[in-house]
């Protein structure tokens, strides 16, 4: 594969994922404006897990974007080696994944989630790596499902998975309180699918997982297809046809320049506009208004009423202006952008006896200082995010 580094990285550290955490903002432990009244103080010992106390002012960053979505990465491991995410040449059998002790416990994740909810988070997505590889994940889902927004609403809990274990786990996930799943599926053509996951995993088992998820009511189910020109783009219309008129919402994602190991090249990006044109030529489409402001996916529906598809133009059309997502890696670093070089080390605060009030103030302060808009600032020539020579974080570490 072109562009894959010749040197084989054998650990997250070598890939830059374990780069020193960014220093927490100096004022973090002190009372920030939103916390000055003490309203945000959620005592670690006495506060009920399910009832976060609202901060008294909406938390927004320097570009006035609220904190609305939290993506929690629960493992950096995966049983697939998707060519655009964890290429085998880099994530080989000697690769050193995160040591167990570095990973946040479910209690630590839930504590961060509860504080985030008090700051305005209403959606939590579990991701990875492959989240279904994290042992006992249902327990975490149960803990998160008990959380309520300050207004008393349950949190929208979703999971992104490669679907390989879904047939076995769908019922337990539903029982634990999971609302919906997004399943990655890059082709219906078995040979193409096996080549893209690069572990020879058959597409039939993912389709069985989809059926199981649907049967237990884990919906609406979204399907993510990362389109790589020359690899699976021949299957675009076939995928559209297959899922048209079903309860599944198929979304096409542009191959992104995340991390440094996937050999990204603008020539391998098939713009969403071309995906739409190819489908439209055979199955006519019209654009639909977004479900909510800040939706990353542009919606298109079939003129004959056969449902809709989504186009996620992460490379050709940035959606930074409305990006309300924070990501927490499995080892507790908070990233305010997919293209960040460093995260903010919340695990240090989780483990050094800091109170919930201090954690809340730190998170609030980080978000208030957020300026990220990497996609918007992409290079006009290459379409790639400039990283000033610094390492970029891998998708499998930070969570998609």
Binding site for ligand SF4 (CB under 6 A): 78, 80-82, 85-86, 128-130, 162, 184, 318-320, 323, 337-339, 372-375, 396
Q: CA 336 to CA 346: how far, in whole Å?
A: 13
**Residue with Cβ nearer ligand SAM (260 or 262):** 262
Phi/psi for 338 (5° steps) reads -60, -25
Choose the one of ligand SAM, ligand SF4, none that binds residue 350, judging by a C-beta under 5 to 8 angstroms depending on kind.
none
Size of residue set near ligand SAM by CB under 6 A: 20
Instruction: At 262, list the tokens.
Output: 């996937």
Residue ranges in 263-302 that form contacts with ligand SAM under rule CB under 6 A = none
Single residue of 201, 248, 252, 255 touching ligand SAM by CB under 6 A: 255
Choose the one of ligand SAM, ligand SF4, none that binds residue 374, judging by a C-beta under 5 to 8 angstroms depending on kind.
ligand SF4
61 binds ligand SAM (CB under 6 A): no
The least distance separating ligand SAM from the CB of residue 187, rounded to whole angstroms, comes to 12
Which of 162, 15, 1 minimizes the C-alpha distance to 89?
1
226 binds ligand SAM (CB under 6 A): yes
84 binds ligand SAM (CB under 6 A): yes
Which residues are CB-contacts of 343 (< 8 A; sequence separation ≥ 6)?
A: 21, 22, 329, 333, 334, 335, 393, 398
Phi/psi for 173 (5° steps) reads -65, -45
Distances in Å between the Cα of 40 and the Cα atoms of 216, 336, 375 are 38, 21, 33
Which of 159, 67, 156 minimizes the C-alpha distance to 115?
67
258 binds ligand SAM (CB under 6 A): yes
**Residue with Cβ nearer ligand SAM (155 or 312):** 312
**Residue with Cβ nearer ligand SF4 (18 or 82):** 82
The least distance separating ligand SAM from the CB of residue 286, rounded to whole angstroms, comes to 26
- What 3-state class would DSSP assign to 334? strand
Q: CA 245 to CA 200: how far, in whole Å?
A: 29
Choose the one of ligand SF4, ligand SAM, none that binds residue 373, judging by a C-beta under 5 to 8 angstroms depending on kind.
ligand SF4
346 binds ligand SAM (CB under 6 A): no
Segment interacting with ligand SAM (CB under 6 A) among 16-24, 154-162, 340-348, 357-365: 154-162
**Residue with Cβ nearer ligand SAM (268 or 350):** 268
Radius of gyration of the chain (CA): 20
Q: Which residues pair with 223 in a beta bridge?
A: 183, 250
127 binds ligand SAM (CB under 6 A): yes
Q: Which residues pair with 250 in a beta bridge?
A: 223, 309
Instruction: At 65, list the tokens.
Output: 């974007």
250 binds ligand SAM (CB under 6 A): no
Beta pairing, strands 249-254 & 308-312: parallel
365 binds ligand SAM (CB under 6 A): no
């Amino acid at each position: 594969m072109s562009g894959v580094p010749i040197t084989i990285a054998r650990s997250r550290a070598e890939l830059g994922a374990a780069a020193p955490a960014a220093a927490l903002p100096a004022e973090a432990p002190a009372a920030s404006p939103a916390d000055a009244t003490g309203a945000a103080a959620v005592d670690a010992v006495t506060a009920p897990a399910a009832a976060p106390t609202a901060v008294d002012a909406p938390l927004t960053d320097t570009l006035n974007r609220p904190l609305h979505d939290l993506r929690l990465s629960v493992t950096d491991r995966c049983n697939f080696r998707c060519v655009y995410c964890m290429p085998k040449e880099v994530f080989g059998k000697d690769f050193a994944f995160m040591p167990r002790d570095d990973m946040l416990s479910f209690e630590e994740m839930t504590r961060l989630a509860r504080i985030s909810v008090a700051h305005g988070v209403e959606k939590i997505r579990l991701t990875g790596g492959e989240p279904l590889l994290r042992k006992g994940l249902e327990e975490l889902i149960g803990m998160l499902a008990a959380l309520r927004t300050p207004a008393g609403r349950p949190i929208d809990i979703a999971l992104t998975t490669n679907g390989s274990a879904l047939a076995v786990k769908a019922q337990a996930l539903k029982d634990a309180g999971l609302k919906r799943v997004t399943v990655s599926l890059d082709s219906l053509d078995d040979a193409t699918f096996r080549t893209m996951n690069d572990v020879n995993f058959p597409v039939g088992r993912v389709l069985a997982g989809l059926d199981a998820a649907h049967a237990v009511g884990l919906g609406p189910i979204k399907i993510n297809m990362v389109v790589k020109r020359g690899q699976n783009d021949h299957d675009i219309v076939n995928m559209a046809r297959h899922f048209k008129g079903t309860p599944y919402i198929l979304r096409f994602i542009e191959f992104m320049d995340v991390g440094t190991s996937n050999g990204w090249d603008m020539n391998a990006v098939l713009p969403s506009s071309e995906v739409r044109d190819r489908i439209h030529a055979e199955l006519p489409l019209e654009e639909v208004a977004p479900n909510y402001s800040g939706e990353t996916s542009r919606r298109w529906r079939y003129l004959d009423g056969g449902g809709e598809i989504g186009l996620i133009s992460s490379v050709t059309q940035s959606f930074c202006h409305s990006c309300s997502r924070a990501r927490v890696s499995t080892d507790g670093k908070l990233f305010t952008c997919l293209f960040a070089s460093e995260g903010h080390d919340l695990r240090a605060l989780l483990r050094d006896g800091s109170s919930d009030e201090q954690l809340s103030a730190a998170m609030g302060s980080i978000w208030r200082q957020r300026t990220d808009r990497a996609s918007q600032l992409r290079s006009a020539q290459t379409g790639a995010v400039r990283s000033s020579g610094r390492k970029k974080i891998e998708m499998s570490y930070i969570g998609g």
